[in-house]
Amino acid sequence: MRITPLGAAGGVTGSCYLVECGPSRVLVDCGMFQGEPEADARNLECTGINPAALDAVVLTHAHLDHCGRLPILVKCDGVCGIAGGFKQKIWATPATVDLTRIILLDSANIQEADAERENLQRERSGEPGQVQPLYTVADAERTMELFAPLELTTKQEIAPGITIQFHESGHILGSASVSMTLRHAGVEKVVVFSGDVGPLNTPLLRDFQHIGEVIESADLVFCESTYGDRDHRGLDQTVEEFRGILEKTAWEKKKVLIPSFAVGRAQQIMYHIAELHNSGRCPRVPVYLDSPMASKATELYRTHSYLLDKYAKATGFGGDFTKLLPELTILNTVAESRVLNDSWDPGIIIASSGMCEGGRIVHHLKHNLWKKGVAIVLVGYMGSGTLGRKLVDGAREVFIQRTRIAVRANIHTLGGFSAHAGQTDLLHWLNSLATKRRQPRIALTHGEDMPRKALAGKIADRWRINAELPMRGNAIEL
């Protein structure tokens, strides 16, 4: 029995593990590499394994860095010397199946548009040859046909000798950790994959499940370590700062722009605004969700309202944001979005992309960054080189669609809305497994070197376990 991390080992993107148990082979996640200099090349490498020889894939959640290479696995057309793609089942929770459809189709559309733009440029400059998209909408659709929904806590054999069970991980709608039982030649081992773990006590979604309370023990635990070296600023303080910004701009009758990821963050922000409005802690103003992808994702909170936490359930909103937040308008067409561009009326606009690199937020920024009193609230991570990062870094002017725009709006960065557990909550997640009489081996993945070393230090102090820090391709034998 052998498990090999094929991504997000020594980095945070491209999550993928190959599990080998006797003759059976399965993958856990098959995510896209993003942002790193070698990302494009690594995405093209397929997975370094033979997709046709895999018995199954298990997907922990719908984020692109966990599911984004699935269509490459499925279409595998022999570019890497391996012909014949993956044709077996992809196991995921029902909400993950629905969210992954939105995310993969969006990703495929972007891949196609990027390739088309690149080819047009080549043609104009007389450069020979054409580039192919990483995958197409048709590839993404074929991938979706392979999905098999599996409810949380239901046990399922997915390949000879390999049984899995999903456990709530509290990260995004449908997200799960996986416990996997491997049986071969009379030996049985249990491996746990954390997937991405959410922070405790955030609104809307349930907290992660303490897996040690449902399984007897584990032999090996893979734990994410994105924020293994620190805790986030308290959510209460962050919401209070957010309230102050909303109140001030409402009194001054100015706009608030919130660039946001379409899945997860946008819904969390709407939930906080609803709480502030409904408790009378801040004046009611119109709220606009201006992202087709976010509006599709928002609809899934109603379909899968059983995943909401007990407080969200107690409000009786059942995942219906328009009921919870009567001031909310969900904009779908470009024409509706343009009307907002031309208006000086107060209101809160939530639009993607999260890092301000594309999508409708770019137009809203172009029309508002130069206006005094407007508030831009940055609620997510901004990669280096992005327009969002320039705003965080205090740029006095920026270029948007080749137009120079002065930055006169107030820029606020709120760092407390993370969907990832900080150090204390990661240790909580590990606690129920690490305190068993038979302690597991622990391997830390999905983190840069600093955070995972810091978390390894805490694990050694607390449970006297020397956590392993595998790099991509380093197999762990059981």
- Cβ closest to Zn ion, residue 63 vs residue 272: 63
Give how far Cα 8 sits from Cα of 5, 110, 164, 192, Å. Answer: 7, 23, 21, 16
Minimal distance, residue 87 CB to Zn ion, in Å: 26
- Cβ closest to Zn ion, residue 68 vs residue 388: 68
- Cβ closest to Zn ion, residue 112 vs residue 196: 196
Minimal distance, residue 437 CB to Zn ion, in Å: 32
Residue 441 parent element (H or E): strand 441-445
- Cβ closest to Zn ion, residue 134 vs residue 176: 176
- Cβ closest to Zn ion, residue 100 vs residue 368: 100
Minimal distance, residue 175 CB to Zn ion, in Å: 7
Among 449, 442, 446, 445, CA closest to 465: 442
Part of the chain binding Zn ion (CB under 5 A), chosen from 81-89, 195-203, 229-237, 283-291: 195-203
Residue 420 binds to Zn ion (criterion: CB under 5 A): no
Q: Which two tokens stand for residue 373?
A: 């009193």
- Cβ closest to Zn ion, residue 176 vs residue 376: 176
Part of the chain binding Zn ion (CB under 5 A), chosen from 19-27, 51-59, 194-202, 401-409: 194-202
Q: Which two tokens stand for residue 410?
A: 């107030």
Minimal distance, residue 140 CB to Zn ion, in Å: 19
Query: Residue 103, Cβ neighbours under 10 Å: how many?
Result: 23
Residue 51 is given by DSSP the state G
Among 83, 85, 76, 70, CA closest to 31: 70
Q: For the window 40-79, what string marks contact with Zn ion as x by the rule CB under 5 A?
A: -----------------------x----------------
Minimal distance, residue 426 CB to Zn ion, in Å: 14
Minimal distance, residue 267 CB to Zn ion, in Å: 15
Give the CA count within 13 Å in the CB-facing half-sphere of 279: 9
Among 36, 44, 41, CA closest to 9: 36
Minimal distance, residue 196 CB to Zn ion, in Å: 4
Residue 199 is given by DSSP the state P
Place of tokens 């995510």: 31
- Cβ closest to Zn ion, residue 171 vs residue 364: 171
Do the strands 187-193 and 220-224 form a parallel or antiparallel pair, or are they unpaired? parallel
- Cβ closest to Zn ion, residue 63 vs residue 69: 63
Site for Zn ion in 316-375 (CB under 5 A): none
Part of the chain binding Zn ion (CB under 5 A), chosen from 24-32, 192-200, 208-216, 334-342: 192-200
Q: Total binding residues for Zn ion by CB under 5 A?
A: 2
From CA 204, how far away is CA 196, in angstroms rounded? 17
- Cβ closest to Zn ion, residue 82 vs residue 200: 200
Residue 446 binds to Zn ion (criterion: CB under 5 A): no
Residue 196 binds to Zn ion (criterion: CB under 5 A): yes
Part of the chain binding Zn ion (CB under 5 A), chosen from 51-59, 196-204, 321-329, 356-364: 196-204
- Cβ closest to Zn ion, residue 63 vs residue 363: 63
Q: For the window 145-184, what string marks contact with Zn ion as x by the rule CB under 5 A?
A: ----------------------------------------
Minimal distance, residue 208 CB to Zn ion, in Å: 13
From CA 377, how far away is CA 414, in angstroms rounded? 7
Beta strands, E only, 185-273: 187-193, 220-224, 255-259
From CA 206, how far away is CA 269, in angstroms rounded? 16
CB 105 within 8 A of CB 74: no
- Cβ closest to Zn ion, residue 63 vs residue 206: 63
From CA 177, how far away is CA 206, in angstroms rounded? 13
From CA 266, how far away is CA 311, in angstroms rounded? 19
Minimal distance, residue 298 CB to Zn ion, in Å: 18
Minimal distance, residue 239 CB to Zn ion, in Å: 22
Do the strands 328-330 and 220-224 form a parallel or antiparallel pair, or are they unpaired? unpaired
Query: Crossing angle for the helix pair 137-144 and 94-125, nearest 10 degrees?
Result: 160
Part of the chain binding Zn ion (CB under 5 A), chosen from 178-186, 188-196, 385-393, 407-415: 188-196
Minimal distance, residue 345 CB to Zn ion, in Å: 36
Q: Is 393 helix (H, G, I), strand (E, B) or coil?
A: coil
Among 347, 275, 353, 344, CA closest to 314: 275
From CA 471, how far away is CA 222, in angstroms rounded? 13
- Radius of gyration of the chain from its Cα atoms, rounded to whole angstroms: 23
Minimal distance, residue 99 CB to Zn ion, in Å: 11
First vs last C-alpha separation in the chain: 5
Place of tokens 């998209």: 133
- Cβ closest to Zn ion, residue 34 vs residue 88: 34
Binding stretches for Zn ion (CB under 5 A): 63, 196
